[in-house]
Structure 1
């Protein structure tokens, strides 16, 4: 709050100082300390009232302020006495010409007596300075100013009453000087200054009235303006004096509070204060410091902080000593300097902050600062750093730590110009089987055992990390390609040995892809990419082996990515074609069904076979929308061709694993109006390799809709017979590789005959794929095959209407078919 905002209180206070100095009034009661306990002592209004002697602070502080006010006047007492002596001499010499000697002598004696009394009081105050003063002492100062001003008030009255021009002129000068000088001298006690000014101003007005001259009004204006200036200046000076005193008192109080808190801090806090002399030796050692250092007081006072920092023989501590020595040498403030200290054989860490201390002459006297024991925080930070850089399950490095170390290693190799650095990426084989059959705790135990074997193998050779899941990485320096390859083979071989988990043994294996850092322009990302390409090729080639990166692999990957991009574009703009290949009844030679084939005619590469782009679609995540599009196209086209009894559509393993497969099929059938009884889904046995218990349920749901299920490429896998027992099928299709052997190998014909007999005994229809020659047709009819498909019966066509008629010689003239009219009639019942 600004003082000017209480102008009415200011005027009221000044008026009371003229009329009744030291007496409180109602408006000032609001600022009493009891009623305003929450108000700051530095409040401008409070300071103004205090300057005029009002009790607006506690009594002790008020007494100190009064003493300071009186002491300020006392310091000017010699100058006041000297000025009064000079003025007395001047007035005496001037007034002796027109004033009776007796009057003048009495006035001089009075002045001399009063000055003598003032001098004695001043000498007494100098011998024993007062520190507190009562309100009575302040009232005495006001009385003293009133009496003293009364002696000088008679001077202008006498001069103007006599009419002596020299006396009037001299009295005017002296009175003006005394009014201004006395007012400013007494400014620290505004009541006394106002009483002094008031006495002289009133006497001057009386003198002007006595003079009875009309030309004296300019003197009245000058006198009044001087008086107002002096009154305003005195009020401001008194207020400033009280404000400064209150501010100093508040600072002193805060200093005492800070000292109290520091003492409390020393006794109870975990930190402590430390001080040194100019040579660095400790001063004023506290008990807390003694306890933290583990040393005796005499021993500690003989040491320096640098000596304590040298007590711990540890690499981080040694580097901290240099930092501390540099900070102390330049004699500047420092903070957060961490040093290591040996405390009774235990490693402790302190954080230091300090500032230099200088004496009154500016000479350096030492340091004063604070020390904190941060040992536990440092240990916690080290633990957090360890957890941030290491895999929590296996204890080896994690991906983030490995990549940082790899970056550093690559920078070092670039400087030395060698090509020894080798990066390995490792994937465990069949790890998922362990999780699925024995649970995740068993999988975690397996990962720990794998990491332990890899750690032993990598000791002193490579950095090792787990990237996550069953993925590991290693980085090392090998003098030759042979040595790098040998280490990769060791990684593979070490995982081939069974792992004991609980009471079971698991054999998993690993696949490794690795690359050498040969091109200085390569970044870590380039190295990771190349090792990943090698790993992918190793998996593609059969897993359980190590493979080094070759540039030809990168070309293949690049082409694959280009094909993937082109495939996305072809699918988005419907540049793929759906063709229908006829399936012929072996007995009548009529087209009874067709297989839907997807064709991609690339604008540059020409026709790309499904065996090439379907795996790309699966890897790129396009197979689900692509398969749904093919199914919709096939059903819509076949719905317009009732001559076909059925239409066969291939389902990839990825499509079959889609949990929404049945719902999507129903949606397509509803949209196209194609009857489910005419739809056949062809699946391969690779579907069952990814079976998680849902394959049987899905097959049942599809068959419940009326859809037939055919097992494609029968005989090319390892478990086809077990699949025939476990799952329900309507048809099986003999792979083209067996049909090609008809007429070339007798065992091929025997296999086909056995498959047909087996299928018929199970009540399944048999279709032979890849029929391209007449003798193959005759042989298959003789063996009892139900239906056939292949180029012999015509090329695939986009319009199913164009494949319903085949133009071959009359079937009646050929070998008769031995296929049963209804294979389900032969289903064995056991």
Structure 2
């Protein structure tokens, strides 16, 4: 981008192209992330980031121009439409992020009337966006008009053909068809109508249409036809009783329309008569299919949800209902390992077993979707307790089924139980409560869990926090802070650790651990972790502190295929020496299946980045990975004084030293704790006991 000349005669220092490019890259990355939340983009994130970087550069140049280059800004807005960034909020999000960046850009600060220039450029950008969007819509409308014209032409051709086909359709229709005068006199009747009425076409032609209808329904049908002929009805559809030759009444549906001449005047009536006996059967069958699972035959979620309100209302007020929400454990392994056909057989078996468990109860068993099932029991005096029913479910599902006489397949299920909810609870609230209870049981590793109002309220609160995190990040509520790491022996600053800090307007300050948990629940773990890495490194390099930076990686970050590449880019962009960046890998991630985290750690070691193992509690990992330091697992550190922990803890510290790794301990709160760890041989300490930080770094 081209920076404007500053005011006055003092020559301005030539801007750093590297710094400008870096800021453009950061802006493009954030712009791309925000705009991707507003519209589906048919491009990869790298392509979007590259395109938006070019557009951002044009806009910076447009602001710096004298006068501002509004044409270039308008072209940039049009290009945004060409990239299909046309969601409902795409332009608003773009203006927000660009407005902040243009006003804050260091290279533009000396520009006369910067705010006015930014407003003009963004106005032109919006105008170009709107004009291109209008042209795009116009092109689509023109295409639609051409398509409609083609359809009209084809319709005319079909109309000509339909005249020739009318006789074939009339004669071969499975529905009864009668062509009548406006007063109801039958001109022609097809064979299907004759069969329905058990008369011949000639017999029908000698009658009026009203002679074929039950006497009690004649006047209603006459009124309907009068409305139709008068034009007050476009099409008549009504259920009426027909009378066959034997006098036996039968229900049928009349669908009548007017045949008009070229001038639009009514000439004849065409009536289609369907025997509702077969139609009713078909409707019931279709209704059953719409409300029942095809595979298991159980009611589906839609049927289950609609029935909940009635069942809640009709339940015994004293005993209420109990909802069991089941999710099969490891069902994807059955599908993936043994095939979908076998998986379908297992699901049918689970449905049959659940019906067997609850056959003596007033219960509704349903398949809620995938491998989830729901059972609503209307409790009676004879209904077993919750624990007894959960055990029955587990026992029945655990009974192996032998497939092809060889494979014995059994499943288990996690169960969320809501026992005797309030009668005024809505079906949606009840299902949400059971789902939260089920997920809580799965998180804690329990086979089942009982609904707890306080825990439910906590989960809803946590999910609400997680849902608002993206907006908080965008609004600047989430910041990068640091905590100091000191040498246990001397107390000297030996490094700093980057931490997330959420200034929530209602909750107050939320710590790093809370931010990490909430980010993992909303898919922000990787982008937020990358932002933390880059921002922390940039600020540390700018501060000139010259101390190592420790960054605790999440399991997802540790296994990210782009981790090494991102760290390389951060080192190149900030000038931070590789040995001053120390990513902390979770010990569990290093031993996970796949080995991606382990591969990342080894590659980083090859380029001089000294990684750490966090959550250290097993010395065997030191035999496989080249690490600079280990951090004692929090659960071990918290129980350091326990007789069963103190000895193994000292052995772990000795093993780490033998492997050439420093030992770090986090969460040290007092000087006594620090002294305890120093006596045990710990090398690095951090926590509330050490508040000091190098100048220029926020704590």
**TM bracket, shorter-chain basis:** 0.5 to 0.7
Bigger share in helix: 1
Residue 788 in 1 paired to residue 666 in 2?
no
Asked whether 1:706 is paired with 2:608, we answer yes
Structure 1 residue aligned with 2:354: 454
- Quickly say closer, same or farther: Cα 1:405–1:636, change in 2 above 3 A: same
- Residue 556 of structure 1 deviates from its aligned partner by 1.8
Structure 2: gaps (5+ residues): 1-163, 180-185, 226-235, 245-249, 258-268
Shift in Å, 1:547: 1.1
The 8 Å contact of residues 350 and 373 in structure 1, kept in 2 or not, is answered as yes
**1:467 corresponds to:** 368
Displacement after TM superposition at 1:681 (Å): 1.5
Q: 1:512 aligns with which of 416, 430, 442?
A: 416
Match of 1:543 among 446, 451, 473: 446
Candidates 624, 647, 657, aligned match of 1:750? 647
Using the alignment, how far apart are the partners of 1:788 and 1:711 within structure 2? 14
Cα distance change of structure 1 residues 694 and 398 upon mapping to structure 2, 3 Å threshold: farther
Residue 649 of structure 1: how far off its partner (Å): 0.6
> Could you tell me whether the CA contact under 8 Å between 1:679 and 1:707 is conserved in 2?
yes
RMSD (CA atoms): 5.2
Contact 1:391–1:397, Cα closer than 8 Å, also in 2: yes
Deviation per residue, 1:660-705 (Å, 9 max, x gap): 4444333333332222332122122443687555334433444444
Which structure 2 residues correspond to residues 93-492 of structure 1 after superposition, within 5 A? 268-272=172-176, 326-328=216-218, 332=222, 337=239, 351=253, 371-372=273-274, 383-410=285-312, 412-413=313-314, 420-435=320-335, 437-438=337-338, 440-459=340-359, 461-479=362-380, 483=385, 486-488=388-390, 490-492=392-394
Change (3 A) 1:511 1:685: farther
User: Partner of 1:427: helix, strand, or coil?
Assistant: strand
Could you report, residue by residue, the CA deviation over 1:16-69 in whole angstroms, capped at 9, with x for unpaired residues? xxxxxxxxxxxxxxxxxxxxxxxxxxxxxxxxxxxxxxxxxxxxxxxxxxxxxx
Q: Which residue of 1 aligns with 2:632?
A: 734
Q: Which residue of 2 aligns with 1:767?
A: 664
Q: For 1:583-627, what per-residue CA distance to the aligned partner results, in whole angstroms no more than 9, with x for missing partners?
A: 4276x7754334333445667766544344431232244433432
User: Residues 502 and 509 of structure 2 are in contact (CA less than 8 Å); yes or no, is this contact kept in structure 1?
Assistant: yes
CA distance in 1 between counterparts of 2:270 and 2:558 reads 77
Asked if the contact 2:334/2:343 (under 8 Å) is kept, the reply is yes
Residues in 2 aligned to 1:583 and 1:383: alpha-carbon distance in whole angstroms? 74
Contact in 2 for aligned 1:463/1:476 (Cα 8 Å): yes
Match 2:481 to one of 562, 578, 593: 578
Deviation at 1:578, TM superposition (A): 1.1
Give the whole-Å Cα distance in 2 for the aligned partners of 1:439 and 1:699.
36
Deviation of residue 504 (structure 1)? 5.7
Which deviates more from structure 2 when the two are superposed, residues 420-429 or residues 286-295? 286-295
- Give the superposition deviation at 1:576: 3.5
Shift of 1:735: 2.5
Which SS does the other structure have where 2:611 is aligned? strand
Secondary structure, counterpart of 1:632 in structure 2:
helix
Deviation at 1:545, TM superposition (A): 0.8
Indicate the SS of the match to 1:396.
Answer: coil
User: Are the aligned partners of 2:494 and 2:684 in contact in 1 as well (CA < 8 Å)?
Assistant: no
Q: Distance in 2 between matches of 1:705 and 1:338?
A: 85
Alpha-carbon distance between aligned partners in 1 of 2:389 and 2:284, rounded to the nearest angstrom: 33
Distance across 2 between alignment mates of 1:425 and 1:503: 28
1:22-37 equivalence runs, <5 A: none
Distance 2:401 2:627 in 1: 39
**Quick one: which of 430, 437, 441 aligns to 1:527?**
430
Query: Secondary structure of 1:708's partner?
Result: coil
User: Which residue of 533, 536, 560 corresponds with 2:462?
Assistant: 560
Q: How many residues align?
A: 493
* Partner secondary structure for residue 397 of structure 1: coil
Give TM-score, length-normalised by structure 1.
0.49
Structure 1 residues 534 and 392 mapped into 2: Cα distance closer, same or farther (>3 Å)?
same
| Cα deviation digits, residues 464-523 of structure 1 (max 9, x gap) | 332323322233322479746654554455445556667364554322242544243x33
Name which one, 1 or 2, has greater alpha-carbon Rg.
Answer: 1
Match of 2:694 among 799, 813, 819: 799
Matched, 1:503 2:407: yes
Shift of 1:651: 0.9
Q: Is 1:619 equivalent to 2:521 in the alignment?
A: yes
1:287-307: CA deviations, max 9, x gaps?
Answer: 76676678999xx9xxxx99x
